[in-house]
Amino acid sequence: MSALSGKTAFITAAGQGIGQATALAFAAAGARVVATDVDAAKLDELTSELIRTAALDVLDAAAITRAAADAGPVDILFNCAGFVHQGTLQEATDAEWSFAFELNCRSMFHTMRAFLPGMLARGGGVILNMASVASSLKGVPSRFIYSATKAAVIGMTRSVATDYVTHGVRCNCLCPGTVLTPSLEERITENAQAAGSIDAARAAFVARQPMGRLGSPSEIAALAVYLAGDDAKFITGQAIVIDGGLTL
């Protein structure tokens, strides 16, 4: 039997990158998957026998409530949606701060609030939240707002794990290092001018990884499969680092 057979998973931001890789990995592990993204067109290539797709903007609290009702019983909630703000404290604006906390944190408050009652009613469930090593775990240059939001994700994760530990609900967060996804490609392009070239900007991201390479979305997805499955049923409240040695 596959690791996630008989389970249903709900994923936010599954249109590309780590969310997309995780939707595919969950399905490969036997789960039924509801894969959502604000950009429904990005979900087209995901539709399969085990994967159902739906548009969902995680900034829309009412839409999250409707999506939870439409999804039916869900065993695994993977909150993957998040936005990387690049900049120091002096470069950050109030509007950027508010937007990042809305997207990276409040969205998870709303999805967990929407899916928890169903999990509690059925005696358990698994919540995975996407954090980062750029958080309370590691200072990373020009990640002032981003690190604050991801530290908050770790805090929410520990809090939820604590409050529901006797109810069969496990809540963990994933803390990747630098992973080659479409949004990282955008950040490389944005940094090209300051770095001198695209190649130099890419090399700077690789240089901060002691293993000398970027992570792949499928490597993060494999961790998500493990944490979502019963093999990990003694793990809760943890910020699991998967970073190619960035925090060493």
235 is an interface residue for ligand NAD by CB under 6 A: no
Smaller CB separation from ligand NAD, 5 or 240: 240
164 catalytically annotated: no
User: Which residue from 28, 38, 61, 222 is in contact with ligand NAD, where contact means CB under 6 A?
Assistant: 38
User: Which residue from 2, 5, 6, 39 is in contact with ligand NAD, where contact means CB under 6 A?
Assistant: 39
As measured in angstroms, the least distance from the Cβ of 22 to ligand NAD is: 9
42 is an interface residue for ligand NAD by CB under 6 A: yes
Nearest residue to ligand NAD by CB is 82
Amino acid at residue number 166: T
As measured in angstroms, the least distance from the Cβ of 79 to ligand NAD is: 8
Quickly tell me which residue has 């999250």 as its tokens: 64
Angle (CA) 165 135 133, round 5°? 85
- With 0-12 / 13-18 / 19 or more C-beta atoms within 10 angstroms meaning exposed / middle / buried, residue 224 is buried
Q: How far apart are CA 80 and CA 116, in angstroms?
A: 17
**Exactly one of 115, 144, 146, 205 is catalytic; which is it?**
146
Q: What single string gives the DSSP state of each residue in 25-86?
A: HHHHTT-EEEEEESSGGGGGGG--SSEEEEE--TT-HHHHHHHHHHH-S-SEEEE-------
82 is an interface residue for ligand NAD by CB under 6 A: yes
> Using CB under 6 A as the criterion, which residues of the chain lie in contact with ligand NAD when the complex forms?
12-13, 15-19, 37-39, 42, 56-59, 80-82, 84, 103, 130, 132, 176, 178-179, 181-184, 217
Q: Which residues are catalytic?
A: 146
